[in-house]
Structure 1
Amino acid sequence: MTLRSRLLVAVAALAALLPASLAAQSTRLLHQPDVSARYVAFAYAGDIWLVPRAGGDARRVTSSPTVEQDPHFSPDGKWLAFTGEYGGNPDVYVVGVDSGTPRRLTWHPGPDLVRGWTPDGKNIVFVSTRTGVPDAEPKLWTVPLTGGLPEALPVPRAQAGSISPDGRSIAYQLVRPWENEMRNYRGGQNQPIRVLDLGTYAVQKLPWTDSRDQQPVWLGHTIYFISDRDWTNNVWAYDAETKTLRQITHYRDYEVESVNAGAGMVAYEQAGDVHLYDPATGTDRKLDIRVTGDFPWAMPHAVDVSKSLTAP
């Protein structure tokens, strides 16, 4: 066999292996993961997806031209609440994990954004500005899984929140920084995580100096949240019993963008990947998740860019 023939054979072999290697790669840009005893839910390309906790091939839960986001499992893992825009407005929807059609639960013309569930699994917690006239201040609300009128939680203002497993307290984020992409920001947009006692209405602030602390979630007697107190958004944990604070992740490059917890695990998004952290063992695992579909937006297509041209 000549040298040229050998090179052609080698190139052909590499070409045959390339598609297989690309297919084996994990999908990135996975957002807002949540975890149940069986599955991990996440948002990708404007849809909600499910994958086993071990990772692998994901299954699409929603499919529409609009955006679905904020997936949250019910405490028993049978239901998945999410924010959907099927009607042209962000509203609360719920769907069975194993089967079913998404069912709409809120109808206000303003945005209703899912934040979680009540511990008994009977209500979905969401944030809304529906009574915030004229300042449109966001507040936490609940709406029954079976449908009905939403009820406000006794928190004057909150952008995100999570009810403790015993139902006695709410950990909440007061405001959403309107310059959330500004790294190492220190200013008035930053606020501590607060905990409201639903019996006495006393408010406790978690240890804080000037960092950007966001997205509190309960798991057992611990509040997990995102903080940039080490100058990068990482996952931190506050033990409500011992009053101690500790750092869970130590990233320095890409920041942690979202965190949720359930079924004994903490799920978070970092660098477009989904991670599961096990508090019982202290182990952290990046999931190998593969998302496949037609994805028409990724296919070659013609686009009229004449209106986007600013110079000849």
Structure 2
Amino acid sequence: MRSGRMSQRMRFFAVPLALGVLLLSLPSFAQEDVNGLFRYPDVSGDRVVFTSEGDLWTASLNGGDAVRLTRDDGREWYAHFSPDGQWIAFSAQYEGNTDVYVIPSSGGEPRRLTYHGARDEVVGWTPDSRNIVFRSPRIQPSRVWQLYTIPVEGGFEQEFGLDRGTRISFEPGGTRFAFNRLRREERPWKRYRGGWAMDIWVGDLGTMQFDKVTSFEGTDFFPMWIGDRIYFLSDRSGRFNLFSMAPDGSGIRQHTFEEEWDLSNASTDGKTIIYQKKYDLYAYDIASGESRLLDIHLPSDRFRARERLVKNPGRYIDSYTLPNEARRIAIAARGEVFTFPVEKSGYIRRLMRNPDSREKYVAFSPDGKKVAIMSDASGEEEIWIASSDGREEAKRLTTGGDTWRFPMV
């Protein structure tokens, strides 16, 4: 992709306005049976809390209507019930930065607990419900996250005592805990096998003994210590599924057998494990070993899905490119690719009209007749070639896209 110089930008300063109008006019392709995107769940008894539309909601473990707990222009996520079920701790952006907040589990005014300039992400509670556990990169640079605790009534946070830590689950009635040292849960790398693969450790601050109990070259994360076993998510079966093991890493058992979709964002109250699959929430009953879909209805006004004027369309641009003669510009925005005339009025052309795929990088051929497009229309990110006039159907150029592809240059 060749970025335009400042002089070139001045020549097509009106493009973002046209893009804004076009983005506004794009039809919605959401399926009517999709009720909402439910993420970052937690469970306490017969109640669940989760994030949807950037806000917190609660619902019954038996499904039904959800109740909105928060509403703010920023995000509220990483919610966790206190073990006694009285409080919900979560991360939010009410004042702009990502900080730790707490509300009664029935709802109420959020109370801010942290004020540091770094990101503070809630990961749980201490077993006595007195302290919230969160992770933050506030001390060390280079993506090194550490665990901290802060009292629910407020006060000064304290380092937990680990040089690295991102997730933690405490041994019931004991002094040990299972934890992850790296933070990579939300990165889109599939079947990752590199140096950032997450392992599960078991530690004890009293004896200062720490053991890495998983040796799989892929990812093992979201440890949940339940009874005498540690449950966790892993992609050792291909997709991310639910597994469990003894605290020393032996006796690994697989509990779910998903082959199409990855499980993510698992959490537990000791009796039920709740997790996200696709855009829905599922509950795994530890006693019976059965999983079920939570039939939750989101009674939302769908404010963020309503048609509205895009005030700053330039922020939606993923990439842009100019051919040598600079007569038209190609722009990738919101998963689609458009070409615009640069110096005079003319047609806005939309390439690769596929609502089920995302196109995000573009590069013109030197003669301006072809556009290279990075698209996942085949299921993985591949390079496609489309005619710049939109008259010919785009053709896939590459295969083997189950790896990371950098933008075209």
For this structure pair, what is the TM-score category when the shorter chain's length is used for normalisation?
Answer: 0.7 to 0.9
Q: Which has the larger radius of gyration?
A: 2
The answer to whether the Cα contact below 8 Å between 1:215 and 1:259 also exists between their aligned partners in 2 is: yes
1:7 aligns with: none
TM-score by length of 1: 0.87
1:148 is aligned to 155
Instruction: Determine if contact 2:234/2:241 at 8 Å carries over to the other structure.
Output: yes
Paired residue type of 1:53: L
Matched residue of 2:252: which SS?
strand
Q: Which residue of 1 aligns with 2:172?
A: 165
Deviation at 1:206, TM superposition (A): 2.0
1:209 corresponds to which of 199, 202, 216? 216
Equivalent residue, structure 2, for 1:115: 123
Comparing 114-123 with 280-289, greater Cα deviation is found at: 280-289
Secondary structure at the residue paired with 1:297?
A: helix
Note the 1:61-72 alignment, pairs <5 A: 61-72=69-80
Please give the alpha-carbon distance, in whole angstroms, between the structure 2 residues aligned to 1:113 and 1:179: 13
Instruction: Give the % identical residues.
Output: 36
Contact in 2 for aligned 1:119/1:164 (Cα 8 Å): no
Question: Equivalent residue for 1:124?
Answer: 132
Which of 210, 223, 240 is equivalent to 2:230?
223
Alignment partners' CA distance in 2, 1:287 and 1:178: 23
SS in 1 for 2:238: coil
- For the 8 Å contact 2:184–2:198, the answer to whether it is kept is no
Superposition TM-score, scaled by structure 2 size: 0.67
Distance 1:30 1:179, change over 3 A: closer
Structure scoring higher RCO (CA < 8 A, sep ≥ 6) equals 1
Corresponding residue of 2:7:
none
Partners of 2:227 and 2:158 lie apart in 1 by 25
Q: 83, 86, 90: which is aligned to 1:82?
A: 90
Equivalent positions of 1:1-312 (< 5 A) are 25=33, 27-132=35-140, 134-135=141-142, 137-177=144-184, 180-240=187-247, 243-303=250-310, 307=314, 308=317, 310=331, 311-312=339-340
- The alpha-carbon deviation at position 38 of structure 1 amounts to 2.6
Are residues 241 and 265 of structure 1, via their aligned partners in 2, closer, same or farther at CA, if it must alter by over 3 Å? farther
Q: What is the number of equivalent residue pairs in this alignment? A: 288
What residue is the counterpart of 1:4 in the other structure?
A: none
Where 2:90 maps in the other structure, the secondary structure is strand
Verify the 8 A CA contact 1:57 1:291 in the aligned structure 2.
yes
Tell me which amino acid in the other structure corresponds to 1:293. Answer: S
Name structure 1 gaps, 5 residues minimum.
Answer: 1-21
Q: CA RMSD in A?
A: 2.0
CA distance in 2, matches of 1:57, 1:179: 28
Distance in 1, Cα, partners of 2:185 & 2:39: 20
The question of whether the paired residues in 2 share the 8 Å contact of 1:117 and 1:123 is answered with yes
SS in 2 for 1:244: coil
Structure 2: runs of 5 or more not aligned: 1-31, 318-329, 332-338, 341-409
| 2:368 counterpart residue number | none
The residue type equivalent to 1:299 in the other structure is R
Task: Tell me, in whole angstroms, the C-alpha distance in 2 between the residues paired with 1:71 and 1:164.
Answer: 21
